[in-house]
Amino acid sequence: MASLASNPVKRLFTSIRNKRKNRVERADSFQKVLYVLLTLLSLFMLIPIVFVFAQSLKPYQELFLVPPRPYVENPTFNNFRELFVLSSSSVVPVTRYLFNSIVSTVLTVIGVVIVSALCAYPLSKHEFPGRNVLFATILLTLMFAAETVGIPRYLVASNLGIMNNYLGHLLPHLAAPVSVFLMKGFVDTNVPKELLEAAKIDGAREFTIFFRIVIPLIMPAVATVAILTFQAAWGDTETSRLFMQDESMKTFPFFLSTITTGAVNNVARQGAAAAATLILFLPNLLFFLFYQRKVIATMAHSGIK
C-alpha cells in the first residue's frame, strides 16, 4: 500500500481502472450488449488501417495473395528500401517531394484557417449591405465540382505568375466554402454579441477582438477546418499536375501516383507503392487522432449529425 501511495502513476491507473469497472457494473443489460456491439464494430473498422500497415511490410510473395490477407507473416522493410533506392536514381529524391508536401500543407492549413475565420466572423457578427447575398454566393459555390473550374483556376494561376512556387500549392485551396460554413455556424452559436460589445466598450479593436476573443472561442471549429484542409492538401495531386512544371516543386502524392506509371507489368514497384502509401497515410491518422475531440465538439455545436 505504501508503494502504491508513493507512486502517482500507479495511483492514476488504479483510479481509471476502478472508474471503468464501476461504470460497467452500473450498466444495464442493454448497455452491455451495446458496448460489445460497438467494440466489435470498432475492431471491424480498424481492419483497413491494419491492412495499410501490413501491406507496407509484406514481401512480394505476400503482396499478391488471393484472397488478400490483412496481416503479414514475414514482415520486412525491403519495401521502404526499394522506395528510397527508386528515388535515388531519379533527378529529384523522395525527400524533396516530402519536403514540398510538408511546406505546402502547413502553409495551406494556416492560410485556410485564417482566411475562413476572417470571412466567417464578419458574416456572423457584423451588419453590412449584401451580407446575405455574399453568404448565399459562398454556399452556391458548393454546387460546383472542382473539374468545372479547372481551366479558370489555371488561367488565374498563370496570370498571377505563381507557377512553380509554393503559392501555386497554396492559393487554389484558400477559397474553402465548407470551412467558411462550419466556422460561421460555430461563431453564430458560441460567440455572444454581448461579449463583443463589452470588449469594444473597453477599447478593444477589431483585430484584438478577433484574435483574443473569437479565435479561442471557436477552437473546435478551427481544429475541424484544419483537419479537413490537411487531408485535402496532403493528398492533393492537382496543383502539382497543373501548376508545377518544375519536377523539384511537385509533392509526395504526385510522386506516389507516378511510381507504377510506365512499369512493364503490375507487379513491379508495388512494394515501393505500398510503403509510400503508408507514409502518405500516417500524417492523416496522427493529425485526426490529435484533434478528434475538437471535431466532435464542432459537430455537436453546429447540429451536424
pLDDT for residue 180: 92
Model confidence band, residue 266 (pLDDT cutoffs 50, 70, 90)? low
Model confidence band, residue 19 (pLDDT cutoffs 50, 70, 90)? low
Please say whether the beta carbons of 63 and 271 come within 8 A: yes
pLDDT for residue 119: 92
Residue 175 CB burial class (10 angstroms; 0-12, 13-18, ≥19): middle
Other Cβ atoms less than 10 A from the Cβ of 259: the count is 23
**25-55 residue pLDDT tens:** 666 677 778 888 888 888 888 888 888 888 8
Cα dihedral 213→214→216→222 (10° resolution): -170
DSSP 224-273: HHHHHHHHHHHT--HHHHHH--SGGG--HHHHHHHSSTT-SSSSTTHHHH
| Sign of the dihedral defined by the CA atoms of residues 111, 175, 230, 238, in that order | negative
Least confident of 63-72, 182-191, 230-239: 63-72
Cα atoms in the Cβ-side hemisphere of radius 13 Å centred on 160: 17
Model confidence band, residue 254 (pLDDT cutoffs 50, 70, 90)? confident
Instruction: Give the residue from 87, 123, 98, 77 showing the smallest Cα distance to 259.
Output: 87
Give yes or no for residue 303 having a pLDDT over 60.
Answer: no
What are the grid coordinates assigned to 277, written together? 502509401
Domain with CATH 1.10.3720.10 in the chain: 91-302
Q: Which CATH architecture has domain 91-302?
A: Orthogonal Bundle (1.10)
**172-211 residue pLDDT tens:** 888 888 899 989 988 888 888 888 888 888 888 888 899 8
Model confidence band, residue 102 (pLDDT cutoffs 50, 70, 90)? very high
Task: Tell me 202's DSSP state.
Answer: T
Q: Cα–Cα distance between 8 and 274 in angstroms, integer?
A: 43
What are the grid coordinates assigned to 4, written together? 502504491
Q: What are the residue ranges of helices labelled H in the chain?
A: 2-6, 8-26, 29-45, 47-57, 60-63, 78-88, 94-125, 131-140, 150-160, 166-174, 177-190, 193-201, 206-209, 215-217, 219-234, 238-243, 252-258, 270-302
Phi then psi for residue 104, to 5 deg, are: -65, -35
pLDDT for residue 99: 92
Task: Tell me 69's DSSP state.
Answer: P
pLDDT for residue 277: 84
Please say whether the beta carbons of 163 and 244 come within 8 A: yes
Give yes or no for residue 117 having a pLDDT over 90.
Answer: yes
